[in-house]
Amino acid sequence: MRLEVIKELDSADPFAEVRKAFSIPVNKIYLDGNSLGPLTLVAKKRALEVIEQQWGNDLISSWNLHDWINLPIKVGEKIGPLLGASSNQTICCDSVSINLFKLITCALAGNPERTTILSTTNNFPTDLYVAEGIQRLLGENRCRLQLVENHELNSALKQKPGVLLLTQTDYRTGEIFDIEELTSQAHANGTPVIWDLSHSVGVLPLEMDKWNVDFAVGCTYKYLNGGPGAPAFLYVAHNQQENCVQPLSGWMGHKAPFEFLLNYTPCNGISKFLSGTPPILSMSVLDAALTVYEKVDIHQLREKSIQLTELFMSLLSETGTLRQLQLCSPISAKIRGSQLAFAHQNSFGICQALAAKQVIADFRSPDLLRFGFSPLTLRYEDIWLAVEALQEVMAEERYLLPEYNKKLKVT
């Protein structure tokens, strides 16, 4: 495919305008927006405002004056539409790990006769570590983590586990589960579900309400561009809220936190899932970043994401580079999120050699090279340039150079 043809795709791109809302370093081709989304101009402006005006000048009165106290609710309401969630079911707080702790324990408490947390071996490590921690805390009589392969879920559900804990988009391969189908299978066995939407939200159309999902969590620093360490979100369906008493019963989830009462009484509704004081700086930045999504049609965005991914694949194939890498993602775009993973014994070196050419991808242990396609910011031309760089790295075996093989703490 010629570069001119690709440039035409960019001229017709409905998201070309939205791209202008971002501060993207010139000459850098960023294929890692699925790990840390890029900076938006509004977020940068808000960060300065919050530091200088709100914290710097208005100090403690900002809790009321700038409504800091309601920020978790306000941001939750902005995330809700991206989940297909109507009001008062989504709130912004803590990290995914902490929110999982709250929701897994709530789901298990719903039916003490059932003790199994059912999940898959390919789930994201933190999800499984938190489940393991709950098993240790409650003891194996009360809680047992059962891990199966994807294709075994169906039969494992028939044994009526206490909760089904799954991540929709596999962080390595990008393979996506059908949330509606699995939720309905779980419900048929009386099992509530918790979906981790970390690699889905902001890039896949989601319908929590329509699909009858009970609980969900997700990250905001990936496709939602909330900034490094931005707080996560949790979703609890209306019909689950009343019965839940979450165990991290901190004062922000209390009915009347500023009455400083001796005992804990939870708020009504989604606010009971709050624990401690919200991180105002990062939550404000996230709040601003989310305004970019107000004008985005998620179905149209999904279309672009698929086109970018397919273009990457076909250019790899045209240049012959595909033969040197082993595709680990599904071939069919329908069951694939906005990422592609390839296995190669020198994946780490390839990733570093690409970075030296200003093409940023990531390496996932033990041997995966992963490319994320953030459709709000990537141009079709970027895909062309990235494949050109990858072709050079592979043809010249640049990944073997010692400078590209030094271990790093974060990969």
Q: Which residues are catalytic?
A: 124, 196, 221-222, 370
Instruction: List interacting residues with ligand PLP (CB under 6 A).
Output: 95-97, 124, 126-127, 167, 171, 196, 198-199, 219, 232
Least separation in angstroms between residue 364's CB and ligand PLP is 11
**Distances, alpha carbon 21 to alpha carbons 51, 206, 238, in Å:** 21, 24, 35
List of residues 6+ apart from 134 with CB closer than 8 A: 101, 104, 105, 108, 117, 143, 145
Closest CA to 31 of 175, 167, 200, 223: 223
Closest CA to 134 of 160, 167, 100: 100
What is the DSSP track for 138-152? H-TTT-EEEEE-GGG
Cβ(244)–Cβ(60) below 8 Å: no
For the chain, the C-alpha Rg in angstroms (whole number) is 22
Q: Which residues of 6-35 are buried (b: 16+ CB within 10 A; e: fewer)?
A: beebbeebebeebbebbebeeeebbbbbbb
Encoding tokens for residue 162? 């206490």
